[in-house]
């Protein structure tokens, strides 16, 4: 059925589009650069399809209203508002029965909420660290009660529950006492207007693993250890200045096997499709724990973690992109499923 697919639309949030409208650097931290779109267009063309730029959710709505249609959509749109923002484009495409690459709205919504993703991952047997969700001052009192009863212990780590690209993470994110807990959580609640995830700090090594495919077809395409200068957290600032602050090391041996096993189990448990990234960190005893899943992993060929880890593992950008495109096409044209089926 491959010959039925000729055009592939691309949904995305171009960072420059939002900056010109007055949004801040922090507001647009997850959005894409022009060079990312050009690289994706090139890879779609190399795979034998015609790429067509659609744009963001607003531009997608306008295009659909005009009657524009595409055989498939390559969706990397993060969107701007609400904790279901990454689910809006796939949900809309489902209603028009237009198949797309990457995960559907339910998976996107769960994955963006790090607390929900952890609960589901843990239920599937994926190792996680202990934590609580803080929505208000009463929840902060509950966290303190957990600490006092030894069900949680300092240091803790805090971050907005539904942000990506390290947004909301700073050198203050590691919490050592009650005063820091209240001050930092109160500030995060005010700035990001969403709950704060409070977890026991994983003091071991940090890793990220790339995956492609879905279900039993999931496979790893490599992983890397993330070593931040001066033990800084892997924040948005550090990521954007990674050449100055971060050393990336390829995973080898037993640690590679452990990380890949946890990554595949997490991806399958959460139902990720086509490609993405799993972030992991070791606890004080060396146990590899799930941090979060990235079903819309950055695809900038130079600065995004997935292409970087691929290069470290002797797999270039072309390999990663063609693997994702092949996985999506294969899934959507499977004889066992309708071509227009939702989540296809």
Each of the 344 residues of the chain gets a pLDDT tens digit; together they read 445 899 999 999 999 889 999 999 888 888 999 999 999 999 999 999 999 999 999 999 999 999 999 999 999 999 988 889 999 999 999 999 999 999 999 999 999 999 999 999 999 999 999 999 999 999 999 999 999 999 999 999 999 999 887 889 998 999 999 999 999 999 999 999 999 999 999 999 999 999 999 999 999 999 999 999 988 888 888 888 888 999 999 999 999 999 999 999 999 999 999 999 999 999 999 999 999 999 999 999 999 999 999 999 999 999 999 999 999 999 988 744 433 433 44
User: Model-level pTM greater than 0.85?
Assistant: yes
Contact 176, 154 (CB under 8 A): yes
Find tokens 């960072």 and name the residue.
15
Measured distance CA(52)–CA(189) in Å, rounded: 39
CA nearest to 211, candidates 147, 121, 275, 122: 275
CA nearest to 311, candidates 205, 212, 210: 210
**Tell me, what's the pLDDT at 334?**
78
2-102 sits in which CATH class?
A: alpha beta
Helices 88-95 and 105-112 pack at an angle, to 10 degrees, of 170
Contact 196, 160 (CB under 8 A): yes
Which CATH number applies to 203-330: 3.30.230.10, 1.10.287.3510, 3.30.1330.90, 3.30.470.20?
3.30.470.20
Spans of all domains in the chain: 2-102, 130-200, 203-330
**Tell me, what's the pLDDT at 340?**
40
Cα 84 to Cα 81, 113, 260, distances in angstroms: 8, 9, 28
**Tell me, what's the pLDDT at 344?**
40
Contact 62, 73 (CB under 8 A): no
Same topology, domains 130-200 and 203-330? Answer is no
Residue 203 has, within 13 A of its CA and on its CB side, a CA count of 8
The helix/strand/coil state of 205 is: coil
Q: What is the CATH number of domain 130-200?
A: 3.30.1490.20
Structure tokens at 96: 């028009």
């Amino acid at each position: 059925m491959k010959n039925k697919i000729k055009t592939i639309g691309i949904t995305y949030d171009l960072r420059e589009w939002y900056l010109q409208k007055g949004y801040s650097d922090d507001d647009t931290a997850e959005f894409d650069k022009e060079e990312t779109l050009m690289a994706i267009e090139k890879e779609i063309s190399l795979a034998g399809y015609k790429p067509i730029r659609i744009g963001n959710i607003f531009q997608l709505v306008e295009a659909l209203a005009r009657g524009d249609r595409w055989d498939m959509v390559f969706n990397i749109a993060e969107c701007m508002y609400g904790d279901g923002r990454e689910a809006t484009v796939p949900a809309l495409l489902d209603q028009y029965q237009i198949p797309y690459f990457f995960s559907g709205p339910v998976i996107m919504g769960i994955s963006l909420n790090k607390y929900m993703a952890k609960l589901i991952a843990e239920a599937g047997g994926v190792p996680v660290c202990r934590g609580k969700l803080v929505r208000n001052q009463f929840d902060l009192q509950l966290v303190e009660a957990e600490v006092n009863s030894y069900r949680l212990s300092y240091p803790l780590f805090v971050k907005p529950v539904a942000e990506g690209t390290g947004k909301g993470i700073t050198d203050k994110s590691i919490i050592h006492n009650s005063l820091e807990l209240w001050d930092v959580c109160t500030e995060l609640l005010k700035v990001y207007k969403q709950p704060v995830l409070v977890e026991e700090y994983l003091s071991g090594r940090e890793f990220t693993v790339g995956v492609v495919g879905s279900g039993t077809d999931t496979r790893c395409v490599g992983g890397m250890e993330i070593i931040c200068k001066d033990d800084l957290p892997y924040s948005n600032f550090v990521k954007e200045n990674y050449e100055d602050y971060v050393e990336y090391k390829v995973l080898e041996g037993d640690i590679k096997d452990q990380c890949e096993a946890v990554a595949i189990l997490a991806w399958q448990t959460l139902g990720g499709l086509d490609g993405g990234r799993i972030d992991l960190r070791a606890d004080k005893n060396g146990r590899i724990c799930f941090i979060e899943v990235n079903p819309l992993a950055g695809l900038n060929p130079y600065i995004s973690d997935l292409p970087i880890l691929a290069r470290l593992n002797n797999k270039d950008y072309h390999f990663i992109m063609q693997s994702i495109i092949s996985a999506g096409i294969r899934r959507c044209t499977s004889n066992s499923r309708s071509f227009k089926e939702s989540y296809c």
